[in-house]
Amino acid sequence: MLFRPPIIIRRIFPSLIWHFSDQEKGLFLTFDDGPSPEVTPWVLDQLDKFDVKATFFCLGKNVEMYPQLYADIIKRGHATGNHSYSHIKGWGMDTALYIADVDTAAEFIHSNLFRPPYGRIGPHLAKMLSERYKIVMWNVLSRDYSRSLSGKRCARNVIRHLKPGAIVVFHDSVKSAQNLWYALPLVLRAIKDRELECKVIEL
pLDDT given for residue 67 in this prediction = 98
pTM: 0.94
Cβ-based neighbours of 171, under 8 Å, separated by 6 or more: 31, 32, 33, 34, 142, 144, 145, 180
What is the DSSP track for 147-193?
A: TTS-HHHHHHHHHHT--TT-EEEEE-STTTHHHHHHHHHHHHHHHHH
The reported pLDDT for the residue numbered 184 is 98
pLDDT (tens, 9 = 90+) of the chain, 203 residues, equals 445 555 556 666 778 999 999 999 999 999 999 999 999 999 999 999 999 999 999 999 999 999 999 999 999 999 999 999 999 987 778 999 999 999 999 999 999 999 999 998 888 899 999 999 999 999 999 999 999 999 999 999 999 999 999 999 999 999 999 999 999 999 999 999 999 999 999 99
Residue 90 confidence (pLDDT): 77
Residues classed as catalytic: 32, 171
Can you give the pLDDT at residue 131? 94
CA distances 116 to 86, 193, 198, Å, are 11, 32, 22
As a whole number of angstroms, the distance between CA 129 and CA 115 comes to: 10
User: What span, in angstroms and rounded, lies between the C-alpha atoms of 146 and 34?
Assistant: 17
CB 166 within 8 A of CB 27: yes
Q: Hey, what amino acid is at 161?
A: H
